[in-house]
Amino acid sequence: MITILKGVRRIMTTATMAKSVSEFNMPVPWGEIKGKVWGPEHGRPILCLHGWADNCGTFNTLIPLLPKECKYVAVDLPGHGFSSHRPPGVFYTFPAYVADVRRVIEALQWKRFSVIGHSMGGNIAVMFSALYPEMVDSLILLDSYGSFPTDSKELGKVTREGIEGMLQFEKKTNEKTEKVYTYENALIRLMAANPSLSESSTRTLLERGLIHVEGGVMFTRDHRIHLNNIARSILEQSLALQSKIQARVLVVLAADGFEKMFAEPEQKECFSKLLKCFTDQKGRVVKVPGDHHVHLNTPENVAQIVTDFLREGSSSQNQAIAEDTQSAKSELL
């Protein structure tokens, strides 16, 4: 079922949610994964995964508009924000990010939880939900199709380019020094690279996207995230993986987001098949006004939709628990 929403309701930020924010920090074999936590300690667990080259600050404006009874953990994925970069010589791939998520869930001691993923974070969320279907109850994708399949004819070419890119990067690493910017120049550079970001949203991402050094600021992200991903999948593999998901699924697409960016006939056909796979499994696809960073730029466009979906899931879970309890009592009588 695909729904087009022309009007949305604005939700007011709650003072309680705004105040209950803390830092998340956990060790990993190569350093630390960091992030932010909103909400009560024992609230319904929700993991939030940001997009490529962003950081967990991407959820700063949306989460305060979502149900305050939930606990939201948003992480800086390795190589992004304040989290450690991967060790030298190691590639950034989706399976590796899924393993990172598994580490985070183990540290949090969550048995079952929901996931909100934007863009690349949505792809990671889909792969995790397919590999660990028993752990994810609700899956929300924000301007993400859940995967980005590679044409089978291009698979060898792009994989080779990724390997060669890493080798060239390693040769240049010893020769170059990190560039130091003024804050305003860093702001201009990030806005130029991400036309969908408003100035306010860019400043929000820079809170975790920059570190202060002598003479100015430097970007925190690892340059290796710009290299070609070498762990690719073709459409058939993506669909097969997607079919393993047991969670309730909500896909929120921005009218001026990925649908406009990837509008070639072959791309549209590919993404249409991915969405059909979700809707065939009773997933919901909703289109809203906004651009690729709609959840950050204009969070009111998506907040009520996400809120309703989360609360529907909570009601369904409570009903299932009640039915299981009643069934157990009946067996004892």
**Active site members:** 119
Q: How many whole angstroms separate alpha carbon 96 and alpha carbon 30?
A: 13
Torsion sign (Cα): 262, 194, 116, 230? positive
d(CA 185, CA 109): 42
Please calculate the CA angle 225-100-54 and round it to the nearest 5 degrees.
Answer: 40
SS3 25: strand
Burial label for 172, CB within 10 Å (0-12, 13-18, 19+), is exposed
The Cα 30–Cα 50 span in angstroms is 21
Task: State the alpha helices, DSSP H only, in the chain.
Answer: 15-19, 94-108, 120-131, 155-173, 183-193, 199-209, 235-242, 258-261, 265-280, 294-297, 300-332
At 179, the amino acid letter reads K
Residue 256's SS3 state is: strand
Spell out the residues 6+ positions from residue 260 whose beta carbon is closer than 8 angstroms to its own: none
Closest alpha carbon to 220 in 57, 33, 82: 82
